Chain A
Amino acid sequence: MTSQYDATAAMEIVNADAPGAACVEDGVLFLEPSELAGAVRTLRDSEESDLVFLSNLTAVDRELHFELVYHLQSLDLNHILQVKARVTDREDPALPSLTGVYHGAHLQEREVYDLFGIRFEGHPDLRRMFLWDGFPGYPLRKDFLQMPGQVRAGLPGFPHESVENAWPVPGSVPQRPMHPNDPQPEGELVVAEEGEETS
């Protein structure tokens, strides 16, 4: 069974090499973005942690900041460690690339760049991957296609779960075309009378 590698032990390994580069919050290891590549290299090369395999690399838009999530795996010791880093600049988010540490980070960092617009400094070939050059915006950001009425992207409630949560959110403009099952907007239904011209 793959065990979770202790975040505190990982923090000690990193901080022994670069003091202050790592901290633990709620059992999750957070790395300082400026020290990211060096800290992950230390975790890879240390015999205790031996995190040689980059299992997963992705990002989460937390609205106030971006959270980069790395899952690092040791094949010999069979443990996994989740590492996170925060990027607070939403205008031009950037952090160091891990391509020098893991060759497998190449395509995953390009994917994050493509869909979140986070630059990875030192990536040798940082181009959009799925979308074309000049595509407006970064789709996986929560503010992509800002809707009128300040409706947040996402699902506010189960359809017809309750009146408060039913779609559309009261007082807002629906952010998708009306579906026949959606609650009808308030107001009189206007029916064209027979013989009247409809424009």
Chain B
Amino acid sequence: MTTADDTRLAMQGTIEALTTGDGSEPVVVNLGPQHPSTHGVFRLKVTLDGEIVQDAEMRIGYLHRSMEKLAEERTYTQNIPFTDRIDYLAAMSNNLAYCLAAEELLGIQVPPRANAIRVMFAELQRVASHAMANGTFINDCGAWHTPLFHMFRDRERVLDMFEMTCGARLTTNYMRIGGVAFDLPDELLPTLEQFLADMPENIANYEALLLENEILHARARGIGVISPEMAINSSLSGPVLRATGVPWDLRKANPYCGYEDYEFDVPVGEQGDCFDRFLVRMAEVKESLRILRQVVDNLPDGPWLADVPLHARPEPGESYARVESPRGELGFYLVSDGGPAPYRFHCRPPSLINLSALKEMSIGGTLADAIVTLGSIDIVVGEIDR
């Protein structure tokens, strides 16, 4: 990586030369709320000394839809479509987390085939979401849309599979309390087989294109570094936490839907910088394909939806269920007072909480580095604001 380091040093030298002027005043720059680098309606207010970030403050709420209040007026089943809209790039994972919380509250056992289908779609969603995350991250690093659209081809095929199964591509509303809404259509498994056959070559192509890329190294190596201790103390989760070397994955630590039956590894990074987050996501896609292979080979027969009364009234109590969504630890905390609707509906949003350390990651770097750091955290504004 000598060339990349040289490029980096040359860039640092230029920046230092630009910022050593005396008598300069800090400049406040607004990124957003509508700005390509902020991945949605998210506003970042940075204070700059020359090119160096002194302070970064985020302003959110532009997409606040008050879902937690709305959910208190709707039955447990009626709330499932809301969870699609929380994180619209990982609707399946959000459906799943909410249904797990509701099932815990209602004491429902899910049939084995439903569990296998849930794992299948959660992992397909991870492939699609990581394709989006890595593609836009490389975009933020300066690659003008080429890798993004390479990865979008894979995402497109996943969304086609969603469409043939549940009729929707983005807001799927596929999981139900007690299972999934529909059985797999006949054409899904051949399509999935073809997808699993094609993906290793595609990933090898991306790796050949990107992993040794000098510009990507110069832009992402050593940028937005966070230590494992700080990451844990800041409640970071998902690829952002694992890039620091902490092997914390809820699929291993607290298996749900039968994840304990599948063989897969938890990829971790070493340095906790933006490049490691990218590498962790690339490696996670491979692990997801491994899980998908095992799901397809061991798909059980039987019902795909448990016998759940339409008018389900859980006993008074509470439940907190978590899944490993593509962005991290996604939890739903439900409180029941015995009524038909949740008394309290709370979503633990990984996108919001992963931003806890954004300021610490950005300070001391350049403005362009702050944008790369924000891209590497992989936020979805719908989930931040809810």
Interface residues, chain A, with chain B CB atoms under 8 Å away: 1-2, 52-56, 58, 60-61, 69, 71, 75, 78, 82, 102-108, 111, 115, 129-132, 139-140, 144, 153-158, 161
* B66, A139: Cβ atoms closer than 8 Å: yes
Q: Is B352 an interface residue (CB 8 A)?
A: yes
Q: Is B344 an interface residue (CB 8 A)?
A: yes
Which residues of chain B come closer than 8 Å to A132, judged between CB atoms? 61
Q: Given A103-B230, A106-B356, A115-B68, is A129 in contact with B60 using a C-beta cutoff of 8 Å?
A: yes
- Given contacts A75-B248, A102-B233, A107-B356, 9 further A-B pairs with CB under 8 A are A58-B346, A60-B335, A61-B344, A104-B353, A107-B353, A144-B69, A154-B343, A157-B340, A161-B340
* A55, B329: Cβ atoms closer than 8 Å: yes
Overall SS of chain B's interface:
mixed
* B73, A155: Cβ atoms closer than 8 Å: yes
Count residues of B near A (Cβ-Cβ below 8 Å): 41
Q: Is B378 an interface residue (CB 8 A)?
A: no
In the docked arrangement, what's the CA distance between A75 and B339, Å? 35
* A108, B353: Cβ atoms closer than 8 Å: yes
Q: Is B191 an interface residue (CB 8 A)?
A: no
Which residues of chain A come closer than 8 Å to B333, judged between CB atoms? 56, 58, 69, 71
* A103, B255: Cβ atoms closer than 8 Å: no
* B234, A75: Cβ atoms closer than 8 Å: no
In the docked arrangement, what's the CA distance between A111 and B383, Å? 13
How far, in Å, is B77 (CB) from chain A's closest CB?
10
Q: Encode B348-379 as 1/0 by CB contact (under 8 A) with A.
A: 10001101110000000000000000000000
In the docked arrangement, what's the CA distance between A54 and B364, Å? 27
Which residues of chain B come closer than 8 Å to A157, judged between CB atoms? 339-340
Which residues of chain A come closer than 8 Å to B311, judged between CB atoms? 158, 161
Q: Choose from A2, A58, A104, A115 the contact partner of B235 (Cβ within 8 Å).
A: A104
How far, in Å, is A124 (CB) from chain B's closest CB?
11
Overall SS of chain A's interface:
loop
Which residues of chain B come closer than 8 Å to A60, judged between CB atoms? 335, 343-344
Q: Choose from B69, B74, B246 the contact partner of A75 (Cβ within 8 Å).
A: B246
Q: Is B75 an interface residue (CB 8 A)?
A: yes
How far, in Å, is B330 (CB) from chain A's closest CB?
11
Q: Is B176 an interface residue (CB 8 A)?
A: no
Q: Choose from A111, A115, A155 the contact partner of B341 (Cβ within 8 Å).
A: A155
Which residues of chain A come closer than 8 Å to B232, judged between CB atoms? 52-53, 75
Which residues of chain B come closer than 8 Å to A108, judged between CB atoms? 235, 353
Which residues of chain A come closer than 8 Å to B234, judged between CB atoms? 102-104
Find the A residue at minimum CB distance from B352.
A107
Q: Is B123 an interface residue (CB 8 A)?
A: no
* A154, B341: Cβ atoms closer than 8 Å: yes
In the docked arrangement, what's the CA distance between A175 and B322, Å? 34
Q: Choose from B60, B68, B340, B352 the contact partner of A140 (Cβ within 8 Å).
A: B68
* B235, A154: Cβ atoms closer than 8 Å: no
Which residues of chain B come closer than 8 Å to A75, judged between CB atoms? 232, 246, 248, 253
* B235, A53: Cβ atoms closer than 8 Å: yes
Which residues of chain A come closer than 8 Å to B273, judged between CB atoms? none
In the docked arrangement, what's the CA distance between A69 and B233, Å? 18
How far, in Å, is A37 (CB) from chain B's closest CB?
14
Q: Is B385 an interface residue (CB 8 A)?
A: yes
Which residues of chain A come closer than 8 Å to B246, judged between CB atoms? 75
* B331, A55: Cβ atoms closer than 8 Å: yes
* A103, B356: Cβ atoms closer than 8 Å: yes
Q: Is B35 an interface residue (CB 8 A)?
A: no
In the docked arrangement, what's the CA distance between A131 and B68, Å? 14
Could you write out 30 A-B pairs with CB less than 8 Å apart?
A: A53-B235, A55-B235, A55-B322, A55-B329, A56-B346, A56-B348, A58-B348, A60-B335, A60-B344, A71-B320, A75-B232, A75-B246, A75-B248, A82-B320, A102-B233, A102-B235, A103-B356, A104-B353, A108-B235, A108-B353, A115-B68, A129-B61, A130-B60, A139-B66, A144-B69, A153-B73, A154-B73, A155-B339, A156-B339, A157-B339
